[in-house]
């Protein structure tokens, strides 16, 4: 009996081994792991140089696949720290009194990974990292990390790390002291970044520290994104841009604005033809999140149906969108996340421009594949144009607004065509977009609709511009009204003719009378 059991077990193990060899499991994007992170801050720092640095950290975390819960000191609840293994504390205020006692107590009993950004580094963390700091009221800085450098940064009340234990990241060079200090430090489970401002190199430098602190091992890739593409954009110019980038071997992403109705109109047909041409020219299609004009409009209430209708219209045209581009705050809104972002498993995270929450929440939704964005024109502030850009800590999109005229087009193309940077092809990654009717996917560069590969077609069909945009309704008494109109026209013309006859007769009588009077004189 025991031998039979051994033989049966061996056969079962052998069958399982053969199964896994012949049919290896594929980890889908939907199974990608996320890292829960708690972000605590003392102030949004509105009206100060630090305004927006919390958003900057959130965008970096989103691109590194972190699921973020965020709270201020004022809304912090006892025991929150214990629920997380990774905590980031952002301190924009120098006054220690803003740190609540309830948070300080939890910090004393917290043993997870901790990152501190800004002022008021906790004493026990400072001791553990062997950190000593010196403060400078006003200074001019030069920040360097990797191949990036930015000089002439004016800073106030900055703390320099003079001693530390662990690994340092980048440098901050003080023009006043003529000394270099580390930008960021990681020692064991703790990390420290003394200075982070939105919009300068310190924001990008923080991503190098955050990646290692989160233990992210994947390598980031660089992408080109053309955004602000609308149905009323210059589509001929867009086709030309796609052709020239294709000839230069530069893959790109077109972030296009969705349309929710009137799919049969010639303008919409031309838009679809252009998107299809872009797709055939090594361009990947990403849909922009709709512009939120009002949080109570019917369009927002029916967001999922509206977005799905556009995606299905693209699918009918054999166009495969691969993700969505949205501002950061969409990921912190329950309605936008459930009704909009949930359709896509890949996203491009733009900086907040016009926040209009519908149902705000303090935890973020996470894309399986997210991308950080930098304005293309800002890249030259940090790196020489003749350098080849290396991989960044996260997938990064260099965003160029679609040019509105030929001069802007030439400037954008000149920047891209003369760049030494290698840009990745977005469709080579795994992406999935699902509506009730269709599943649109990319796998190893192949685009599929409902599991069927599509044929790429670069021919642009001619669309007849003749179209009745307002359909004629059924008319009653048309013949009667037509006869009446003709009668009125005849009467008016007859009246005018009689009036002209009387006018001529009157003129002749007046002229005859005037001539008779002259003869009498």
Phi, psi of 519 (to 5 degrees): -65, -35
Contact assessment for residue 391 and residue 222, using Cβ atoms and an 8 Å cutoff: yes
Average pLDDT for residues 155-173, to the nearest whole number? 94
DSSP 101-124: HHHHHHHHT--SEEEEEES---HH
Residue 437 sits in the same domain as residue 382: yes
Residue 141 sits in the same domain as residue 228: no
pLDDT in tens, 431-447: 999 999 999 999 888 99
Q: Which two tokens stand for residue 198?
A: 């939105």
Domain contains 445: yes
Contact assessment for residue 282 and residue 246, using Cβ atoms and an 8 Å cutoff: yes
Residue 164 sits in the same domain as residue 231: no
In the prediction, which pLDDT does 23 show?
33
Q: Which two tokens stand for residue 187?
A: 């020692």
Tell me if residue 256 falls in helix, strand or coil.
strand
The count of other CB atoms within 10 Å of the CB of residue 91 is 23
In the chain, how many domains are there?
Answer: 2
pLDDT in tens, 24-52: 333 333 445 789 999 999 999 999 999 99
pLDDT band for position 467 (cuts 50, 70, 90): very low
The closest alpha carbon to 107, from 146, 138, 80, belongs to 80
Tell me the pTM: 0.81
Average pLDDT for residues 498-502, to the nearest whole number? 85
Q: Which residues does 182 contact at the CB level (< 8 Å), separation at least 6?
A: 161, 164, 168, 169, 170, 171, 172
* pLDDT over threshold 80, residue 476: no
Residue 255 sits in the same domain as residue 175: no
Residue 328 sits in the same domain as residue 202: no
pLDDT in tens, 480-499: 556 777 888 888 888 888 88
Domain contains 503: no
In the prediction, which pLDDT does 518 show?
56
Residue 265 sits in the same domain as residue 169: no
Contact assessment for residue 437 and residue 312, using Cβ atoms and an 8 Å cutoff: yes
Residue 267 sits in the same domain as residue 236: yes
* pLDDT over threshold 60, residue 176: yes
Check which CATH number belongs to the domain holding 318 and give it.
3.20.20
Domain boundary among 195, 213, 231: 213
Residue 208 sits in the same domain as residue 344: no
Domain contains 498: no
pLDDT in tens, 229-284: 998 899 999 999 999 999 999 999 999 999 887 777 788 889 999 999 999 999 99
Query: Which secondary structure element, helix H or strand E, spans residue 201, and what is its range?
Result: helix 201-213
In the prediction, which pLDDT does 130 show?
96
Q: Which two tokens stand for residue 180?
A: 């270099």
Residue 373 sits in the same domain as residue 247: yes
Domain boundary among 436, 453, 470: 453
Check which CATH number belongs to the domain holding 193 and give it.
3.40.50.880
In the prediction, which pLDDT does 299 show?
57
CA atoms within 13 A on the CB side of 443: 15
In the prediction, which pLDDT does 294 show?
57
Q: How many residues does this entry show for the chain?
A: 521
Domain boundary among 404, 431, 453: 453
Mean pLDDT of the chain: 85
Domain contains 499: no
Domain contains 11: no
Domain contains 491: no
Residue 205 sits in the same domain as residue 299: no
In the prediction, which pLDDT does 458 show?
59
Residue 326 sits in the same domain as residue 296: yes
In the prediction, which pLDDT does 506 show?
79
| Cross-strand bridge partners of residue 180 | 173
**β-pair type (167-174, 179-187):** antiparallel
Domain contains 14: no
Domain contains 519: no
The count of other CB atoms within 10 Å of the CB of residue 350 is 23
pLDDT over 70, % of the chain? 84
Q: Which residues does 51 contact at the CB level (< 8 Å), separation at least 6?
A: 44, 45, 198
Domain, as residue range, for 98: 30-213
Residue 232 sits in the same domain as residue 114: no
Angstrom distance (rounded) from CA 211 to CA 394: 8
């Amino acid at each position: 009996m025991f031998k039979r059991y051994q033989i049966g077990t061996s056969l079962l193990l052998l069958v399982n081994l053969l199964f896994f060899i012949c049919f290896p499991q594929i980890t889908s994007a939907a199974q990608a792991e996320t890292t829960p992170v708690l972000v605590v801050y003392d102030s949004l720092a509105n009206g100060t140089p630090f305004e927006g640095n919390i958003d900057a950290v959130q965008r970096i975390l989103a691109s590194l696949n972190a699921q973020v819960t965020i709270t201020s000191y004022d809304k912090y609840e006892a025991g929150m720290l214990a629920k997380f293994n990774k905590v980031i504390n952002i301190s924009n205020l120098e006054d220690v009194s803003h740190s609540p006692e309830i948070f300080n107590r939890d910090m004393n009993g917290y043993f997870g990974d901790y990152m501190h950004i800004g002022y008021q580094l906790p004493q026990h963390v400072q001791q553990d990292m062997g950190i000593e700091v010196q403060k400078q009221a006003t200074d001019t800085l030069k920040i360097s990390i990797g191949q990036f450098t930015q000089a002439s940064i004016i800073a106030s009340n900055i703390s320099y790390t003079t001693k530390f234990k662990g690994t340092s990241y980048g440098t901050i060079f003080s023009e006043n002291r003529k000394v270099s200090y580390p930008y960021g430090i990681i020692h064991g489970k703790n990390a420290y970044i003394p200075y982070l401002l939105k919009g300068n190199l310190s924001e990008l430098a923080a991503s190098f520290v955050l990646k290692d602190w989160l233990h992210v091992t994947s390598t980031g890739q660089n992408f080109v994104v053309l955004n602000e593409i609308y149905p009323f954009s210059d589509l001929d110019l867009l086709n030309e841009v796609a052709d020239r980038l294709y000839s230069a071997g530069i893959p790109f992403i077109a972030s296009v604005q969705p349309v929710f109705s009137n799919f049969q109109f010639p303008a919409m047909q031309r838009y679809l033809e252009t998107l299809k041409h872009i797709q055939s020219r090594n361009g990947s299609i990403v849909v922009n999140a709709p512009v939120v004009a009002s949080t109570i409009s019917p369009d927002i209430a029916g967001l999922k149906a509206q977005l799905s209708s556009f995606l299905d219209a693209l699918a009918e045209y054999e166009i495969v969108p691969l993700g969505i581009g949205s501002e950061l705050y969409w990921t912190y809104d329950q309605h936008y996340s459930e009704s909009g972002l949930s359709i896509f498993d890949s996203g491009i995270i733009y900086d907040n421009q016009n926040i209009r929450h519908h149902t705000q929440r303090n935890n973020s939704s996470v894309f399986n594949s997210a991308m950080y964005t930098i304005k293309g024109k800002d890249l030259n502030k940090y790196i020489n144009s003749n350098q080849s850009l290396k991989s960044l800590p996260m997938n990064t999109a260099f965003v160029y607004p679609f040019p509105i005229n030929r001069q802007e087009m030439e400037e954008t193309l000149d920047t891209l065509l003369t760049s030494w940077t290698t840009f990745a092809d977005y469709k080579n990654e795994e992406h999935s977009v699902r509506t009730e009717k269709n599943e649109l996917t990319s796998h190893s560069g192949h685009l599929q609709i409902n599991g069927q590969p599509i044929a790429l077609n670069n021919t642009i069909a001619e669309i007849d511009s003749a179209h009745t945009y307002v359909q004629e309704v059924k008319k009653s008494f048309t013949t009667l009204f037509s006869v009446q109109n003709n009668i009125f026209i005849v009467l008016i013309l007859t009246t005018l003719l009689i009036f002209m006859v009387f006018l001529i007769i009157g003129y002749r009588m007046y002229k005859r009378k005037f001539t008779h009077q002259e003869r009498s004189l």
